[in-house]
Amino acid sequence: MRRVKLPATFLLLLLLAVTAGCGTVTYDLSDVPFPVSARPADAGTAVESFEIEGKSVLWVHGLFGQSQPDVAALLREECGDCAGVANFRVEVGGSFHDWLLTHLTATLVRLKTVRIRGDKLVR
């Protein structure tokens, strides 16, 4: 009887590890009052580069929810009344502190750093 339970438990844990390994952030920029583009700014356009950081948290491998930064709100706060944003990027990765806190909690709390980068088009 134990031989059946051990492989089943192992497969369940493997499935949880594989599905929790993804680092994705979902966001909606439809309510941002200025245009946002991944293309670089046109030559001769005045720009100011920016970088914003936030944290993404999975509680017990996402089974008890997750917490993600509101990308649209952070973008509105950072850029204010700019003419637009060019070279827009959202990256998810782990820092040493994320790794350390994730492992100190036995991966029950998974932390990732979310970096939002771009160039503000100056009016």
Q: Please state which architecture CATH assigns to domain 2-121.
A: 2-Layer Sandwich (3.30)
Tens-digit pLDDT profile for residues 33-59: 999 999 999 988 999 999 999 999 999
Q: Which helix or strand (DSSP H or E) is residue 72 part of?
A: helix 71-79
What pLDDT shows up at residue 12? 59
Burial class (CB in 10 A: 0-12, 13-18, 19+), 50: middle
Look at residue 31 and give its three-state secondary structure.
coil
Compute the mean pLDDT over every residue in the chain, rounded to the nearest whole number: 86
Domain parsing of the chain, residue ranges: 2-121
Note the pLDDT tens digit of each residue in 61-70: 778 888 999 9
